[in-house]
Structure 1
Amino acid sequence: MTEGKVVIVTELYSGGSSGIGLSTIQLLLSLGTSVIGADLHEPPEGAVNSAQFTFYKADVTKWQDLVGLFKKAIELHGRVDHVLANAGVAPRTNYVNGIELDENGDPKEPTGFVLDVNLKGTINTATLAIHYIRKNPSGGSVVVNSSATGLHRFRGVDYTVSKHGTIGLMRGLHAALASQNVPVRINGLVPHWTASGIVQEELFKELGIYTQPASAVARAAVKLMADESRRGQLIHIDHEVCKEVDETLMQVYESFQHEESTGGDEGIALLAARMKWFTDAK
């Protein structure tokens, strides 16, 4: 249950003002949860009417904004129990035919804005979440909202890279947290086409593409927060149907490993023990 808990939902460019972010905030509030929503824009008037909601203006690409967000949660409630890292923007860089030239005719470096928001912003959010949540006697959880595009080939390259990266973040942090007995769970979401600030429902309807309601993803996010047995899971949501997919993917990977191969995480554990990686030694 999330009743009485304190949850941060991070956003950028109307993430918390519409779509998955707003739906999650509304669901959490209906369950008696205190919510701090971070975005560049406040939710639409009348969308959130609860004394348990606090809006905090923040840009997830700025570290100090994120630090201020978590400090505000501590100031208001004394703790943070769960965090949904939900900030995201649409693809905007064409690495194949979209290179721009400077005044000398030389290629200009492509913008890294999508990676800054979708990947770096999520990494920093998760890092701060772990820092604060681990202080709770009972711990808590982080939910990373990635995308189904992180599981397959998608021609929006910068977006695809960022979403593959956030899945890797969840997997890596799950292994690291478990190995160090940190009382913080981390799980991920990989929703298929979902009505949001990025996926415009009317446009997709004209194209004959089904978009599931944001509430379907919100329910999955809250389930991951509330169910303490969920650890290192990756929940795929399509047509409002949720399925855990990472265990299957891991089994496929293991099926083509050499029978005498040392697992990647097992190898890291052996190296960490020898080289004293990931210890508290200064």
Structure 2
Amino acid sequence: MDMSGKVVLITGGETGIGRATVELLAASGARVVVGGLLEDEGAAMMTAVSVAGGLAEFHKVDVRSSAEVDAFVDAAASAYGKIDGFVNNAAVFDGFVTCLETTDALWNHVLDVNLRGTFFGCRAALRHMVPTGAGRIVNVSSVGGLVGAADGPSYTASKHAVIGLTKQIACAYAAQGIAVNAVCPGVIATEIRKNSTRLLGDDAPKMAGVGVDTDWLPRTVPMGRKAAPSEIATVIRFLLSDEASYVTGQYFTADGGWTAK
């Protein structure tokens, strides 16, 4: 899919699914502007994209701050004259803790990043997309946004809410030429636990794994494996592309069959 000439912004693009998306979009010809907090990873991402011949830049942005998100988006729009796509990918994980184990601080931190941050990103992008009558927003939700037994309460609540937010904004702005969709990844081979522990700081719980035996993956996922981040990036690229011209208000599940059971 040719993304030449497109300007795409993405939050949390320095690691995992975000980085894979940045690399794919840049390889497809897009100029990618990344906002995140992990500066060393952001620098490594920029180097990798540059070596491959693509265009990507990193800016330190805390998505919990509407002022920082607005400044990030406004600066990109000023520099490049437009925003064709926006990917709300920044998120932190709650480590599968139970409701009784969820502290006020953990709940607030997860919801602030995963939900408020997504809302701030959508709102900032829409301010530039609506006047031009075009634009595509992709919000990264999760299988945890579809079922109740995949994650802890704060992560589950935030990712369910992202799907509702996606549908509402899609309906409200479809007539203005804006498409808004969500992607729901299943089990992906990333370092989300390690990165979330760093990002949550003192609010971080102990990051538990899934299950205590080695058979949980084939029992849970019909394909019997984790996905590579690049397999989610291809779905995001499709939703940002001209090929998805009649798609809005939808969530696309890439989970190896997990929710089909």
Q: TM-score by structure 1 length?
A: 0.73
Count of residues in correspondence between the two structures? 227
* Number of the residue aligned with 2:148: 153
- Residue 237 of structure 1 is matched in structure 2 by 254
Do 2:26 and 2:54's aligned partners in 1 also have CA atoms closer than 8 Å? no
Q: Counterpart in 2 of 1:197?
A: 191
Displacement of 1:40 after TM fit? 0.8
Distance in structure 2 (CA, Å) of the matches to 1:140 and 1:223: 14
Larger Rg: 1
Question: For 2:105 and 2:62, how far apart are their aligned partners in 1?
Answer: 23
Whole-angstrom distance in 2 between the partners of 1:72 and 1:26: 22
Q: Name the counterpart of 2:203.
A: none
Contact 1:93 1:158 in 2 (8 A): no
Q: Pick closer, same or farther for the CA change 1:33–1:112 going to 2, 3 Å.
A: same
Residues 1:99 and 1:160: Cα distance change in structure 2 (over 3 Å): closer
Structure 2: state its 5+ residue gaps.
Answer: 195-208, 218-224
Say whether 1:89 aligns with 2:99: no
> Could you tell me which residue of structure 1 aligns to residue 234 of structure 2?
219
CA distance in 1, matches of 2:97, 2:113: 17
1:228 aligns with: 245
Structure 1 residues 93 and 214: CA distance shift in structure 2, 3 A: closer
For residues 127 and 191 of structure 1, the distance between their equivalents in structure 2, rounded to whole angstroms, comes to: 23
The Cα offsets for residues 67-93 of structure 1, whole Å up to 9 and x where unpaired, read as: 111122122201101000001000159
**Of the candidates 36, 41, 44, which is equivalent to residue 38 of structure 2?**
41
Residue 19 of structure 2 is aligned with which of 8, 15, 22? 22
Equivalent residue number for residue 140 of structure 1: 135
Letter in 1 for 2:27: S
CA distance in structure 1 between the aligned counterparts of 2:94 and 2:188, rounded to whole angstroms:
16
> RCO (CA 8 Å, sep 6+): is it higher in 1 or 2?
2
Determine which structure has the larger helix proportion and give its number. Answer: 2
Which range moves more in the overlay, 147-156 or 219-228? 147-156
1:160 Cα deviation after fit: 0.3
**Which residues of structure 1 form unaligned runs of 5+?**
101-107, 246-282
Distance 1:8 1:212 in 2: 24
Q: Indicate the SS of the match to 1:48.
A: helix
Aligned counterparts of 2:29 and 2:102: Cα–Cα separation in 1: 49
Indicate yes or no: 2:33 matched with 1:57. Answer: no
* Conservation of the 8 A alpha-carbon contact between 2:94 and 2:106: no
Indicate the RMSD between aligned Cα atoms, in angstroms. 2.7
Q: CA–CA distance in 2 between the matches of 1:221 and 1:162?
A: 20
* Partner in structure 2 of residue 112 of structure 1: 108
Residue 125 of structure 1 deviates from its aligned partner by 0.6
Deviation of the 1:136 alpha carbon = 2.1
Question: Given residue 183 of structure 1, which amino acid in structure 2 is its aligned partner?
Answer: G
Following the alignment from structure 1 to structure 2, what is the Cα–Cα distance between the partners of residues 99 and 224? 34
CA shift, 1:196, in A, is 2.1
